Amino acid sequence: MKENAYIELKSRLLKECERVQKKVVDSAKAAMDEVQLALNEYGPNKDRYDSFRDQLIGKRDMFSTQYQKAHSEFTVLHKINSKNINKIVEFGSVVLTDSCKFFISISAGKIIIDGQTYYAISPMVPLYKAMEGMKKGDVFEFNGKKQTIQDLF
């Protein structure tokens, strides 16, 4: 592949991760807002031990935590420069091995671009740790399986 093709592919992977993560953010926000609306409609505590209200508050807080996590991961994506051609495996790299293709970004899962499957993985997962800092041609082992880095950008 030529450098322009690398940049184009990385840009498309990044846009797809942003699209997927935006759906997660929007879903968590909608769920949080829905529970908050139910809380507002329910009104103040009916008695000292209002378990229904406490349950709604717990749900709202859970969705709020999910929203904050999803939003921070969405923000992390903005730190990736799609025009940067990485020479080692690091955050923002696209890593092509003899068995899989990875985009080191966030845990967005399976992404299909032009019929090719890529896996968006976080730099916090053990798979990334197994290949961190490696270069094209290096071999790493994960779960007893050896993989060779065939290309990297």
With cut-offs at 50, 70 and 90, classify the pLDDT of residue 66.
very high
pLDDT tens per residue across span 4-61: 999 999 999 999 999 999 999 999 999 999 999 998 888 777 777 778 888 999 999 9
With cut-offs at 50, 70 and 90, classify the pLDDT of residue 83.
very high
Provide the whole-model pTM: 0.85
- The pLDDT score that the predictor gives to residue 125 is 96
With cut-offs at 50, 70 and 90, classify the pLDDT of residue 102.
very high
- The pLDDT score that the predictor gives to residue 61 is 95
- Within 10 angstroms of residue 70's Cβ, the number of other Cβ atoms is 20
Quick check: 1 pLDDT over 80? no
Average pLDDT, the chain: 94
* DSSP secondary structure, the chain, as one string: --HHHHHHHHHHHHHHHHHHHHHHHHHHHHHHHHHHHHHHHH-S-SSTT-HHHHHHHHHHHHHHHHHHHHHHHHHHHTT--TT---SSS-TT-EEEESS-EEEESSS-EEEEETTEEEEEE-TTSHHHHHHTT--TT-EEEETTEEEEEEEE-
In the chain, what are the domain boundaries? 3-77, 94-152
- The pLDDT score that the predictor gives to residue 51 is 84
Amino acid identity for residue 55 in this structure:
Q
- The pLDDT score that the predictor gives to residue 3 is 87
Dihedral sign (CA 139, 140, 144, 147): negative
The pair of structure tokens assigned to 41 is 């409609």
